[in-house]
Amino acid sequence: MEYYLSPQICWFRRRFSEGLALHTPLAKPLFSERHGLSKPVFSFCGFRLFRLDPVQPRLFVVPQRSHVDKGETEMSLQSWKKEFYPISAQRAAKGSAVETIEHSLKKWTGLRKKHLDRHDLSTDYGGIRGTGQSFYIDAVSCSLCAKFYDDASADGNSACRNCPLAKARGSVSCAFRLAPTEPHSPYWAWITRHDPEPMIFWLKKTLEDAKEVSRGKGNASGK
């Protein structure tokens, strides 16, 4: 049995400002080693009173902050959006094809695990989740869908026929598999495995194609 008398409750505190420890006959022999004690200042019938050394181990409790310190940024879904989804898909769709693809590529790049971890986000079915907030990766959050999707088409693949991503894939949309070369379509790779890499790959190719078309138009107009 071991007792520790803190300076606040020990009447010896004026003499031993670091506090006192009481070592009983039942205490373990390593008590003094564990608490950094020296010779007892008082001993009687096996009871020994030790002065606590100032270098004894201490338990530090780090208080949780209720605010964000100056110069720091709180990691959340909002911080993720600020970095990877600064404007809505509908607003991005008002820009050029290159700007729209860049907006989509930035969003999908942000879905890599290292970026989600950095913003304290986790994957959810069809989206990502923060504390009490969710963001779904679907046609509503896709700038390419907002710009090129044809609601009047009979099926999903033909509805994307004007999308530069579908064109880069040989007129096959991101939701349909390029059989037999793809085990999953780019979009379903995200839905089923939370893997953004197939979509990132195709968006990079789409961006290269779009920039090449843009340069070609520029050269043609300059002649």
Question: According to the model, what pLDDT value does residue 18 have?
Answer: 41
Phi/psi at 47 (5° precision) = -85, 125
- Which helix (DSSP H) or strand (DSSP E) does residue 212 occupy? helix 197-222
pLDDT digits (tens, 9 = 90+) for 140-189: 999 999 999 988 776 767 899 999 999 999 999 999 999 888 899 999 99
The model's pLDDT over 4-51, given as tens digits with 9 standing for 90+, comes to: 343 333 333 333 334 444 444 444 443 443 444 445 555 666 555 655
Q: What is the mean pLDDT of residues 125-137?
A: 91
Determine which of 64-68, 88-92, 129-133 has the lowest per-residue pLDDT on average. Answer: 64-68
**pLDDT tens figures, 96-115:** 999 999 999 999 999 999 99
List C-alpha distances in Å: 36 to 19, 61, 211.
13, 20, 70
Q: pTM higher than 0.85 for the full model?
A: no
